[in-house]
Amino acid sequence: MENTAIIIAAGLGTRMKSSLPKAAHKLAGREMLRHLTMAAESVFTRVVVVVGPDMPALEALAAPHGVVVQAERLGTAHAARQAEDQFGEGLVAVFYADNPLVSPATMQALLARAQADDAGLVLLAMTPPDPGKYGRLVMRDGYVSRIVEYADATPEERRLTLCNAGGLAGKATDMRRWLAAVKAENAKGEYYLTDIAAIAQAEGVKVAAFEAPYAECMGINSRAELAAAEAALQTRLREAALESGVSMLAPETVFFSADTLLGADVIVGPYVVFGPGVTVEPGAEIKAFSHLEGCVVHSGALIGPYARLRPGADIGPGAHVGNFVEIKAATLGAGAKANHLTYIGDAEIGPGTNIGAGTITCNYDGKAKHKTKIGAKVFIGSNTSLVAPITVGDGALVAAGSTLTGDVAPNTLALGRARQVNKPKRP
């Protein structure tokens, strides 16, 4: 069956106090809108994003999915109706970009419930730790009797814990009819998506509730709520890593990006941060206080403590990157070592090479970046400066304290330092 997900992302998010649209803010290094579209595209035939006017950033984030524009912000039902031409003939589910953590499994379960014969409309529900001012779902005989907003609820209704999470699903033909029947009879003069529940019930249609974990349904309208959602997502990512065979000595101190890939038997020390685009192959170890982003760490490599891998770093099998070493846009061959106080940028380091403490690849001349190439089984002495572009051949030895501006042939000794002179003290 052809099913469609509509994601409403037209909100400005004024409470975020940001120049960015609310749905462009990130959780675990990924924009809120992208969290939802990536989850939805694994479940639905079609994904359509509703944005407000003048939101090119969100339109770009929505790609390659369809985008429709809500020219006037007249409420959530009005926003959903803008995508009516994209509904298709199967089921339609509506989600909100500021509820970005709904999982594919929950989306699939919501659709399965909507396909059952007993209910024509299914509401996504949750039980928050603190129901607060969420709208309550009043249940009767296993179905939703009505949605009551906190401000309109009686003291008894406020004690209910099952709350409306915002998402819903139903047949496309029904959704078109119900959305057309929504009226703006409220103080704000807006068309509310929740009103379709009463419209469906007036037709004799039963409304069901599917309860999902609160951590997937929590809404984000402020920086504080963004931080709370980040904490919930990090918990989910840590649990997934542990389940996949990763060892973490202090999981609560490790921070992941949504796309972090760690192989089995990877060991992660305390206070490690994984930025976007990191892959760590099985058997590697990331020691404490290291920061990785846009890099690949191959099997058996040892990183840190206090190492920084920047985008383009490719650390070979069994290689060592030690404390206070920074690597950017560089490959470190199998078994190579850079154990202390070193910067390697725009470089190729051959297998088995040792980079001494304090070594710098001088890759930037003020206008352009240049490359350093170091062969296999080279020994670079401590406090060496390699002024790129430069090539050091296999088996070469560079004396400590050298500053090199020219190539070094294989199997030679290179010295690029002033001759030591010792003068006696005057009487």
Distance between CA atoms of residues 356 and 335, nearest Å: 14
The first and second tokens of residue 284, run together, are 């590697």
Q: Cis ω on the peptide bond leading into residue 351 (within 30° of 0)?
A: no
Place of tokens 């004799």: 204
Q: At what angle do helices 195-202 and 172-181 cross, to 10 degrees?
A: 110
Could you tell me which residues come within 8 angstroms of residue 384 by beta carbon, excluding any fewer than 6 positions away?
356, 358, 359, 360, 398, 400, 401, 402, 403, 404
Distance between CA atoms of residues 248 and 274, nearest Å: 13
Distance between CA atoms of residues 388 and 61, nearest Å: 38
Place of tokens 């997934």: 240
Place of tokens 């009551």: 148
Distance between CA atoms of residues 225 and 350, nearest Å: 47
Helices (H), 30-186: 32-41, 56-62, 76-81, 104-115, 155-158, 172-181
Rg over alpha carbons for the chain, rounded to the nearest Å, is 29
The first and second tokens of residue 283, run together, are 């058997």
Burial class of 353 by CB neighbour count within 10 A (0 to 12, 13 to 18, 19+): buried
The bridge status of strand 163-171 relative to strand 121-126 is: antiparallel
3-state SS string for 350-370: CCCCEECCCCEEECECCCCEC
Active-site pick, 25, 35, 78, 340: 340
Distance between CA atoms of residues 18 and 27, nearest Å: 15
Place of tokens 């001349």: 365
Q: Is 340 a catalytic residue?
A: yes
Distance between CA atoms of residues 228 and 219, nearest Å: 10
| Structural contact between residues 316 and 336, judged by C-beta atoms closer than 8 angstroms | yes
Q: At 186, is the secondary structure helix, strand, or coil?
A: coil
Indicate which residues carry an active-site annotation: 340
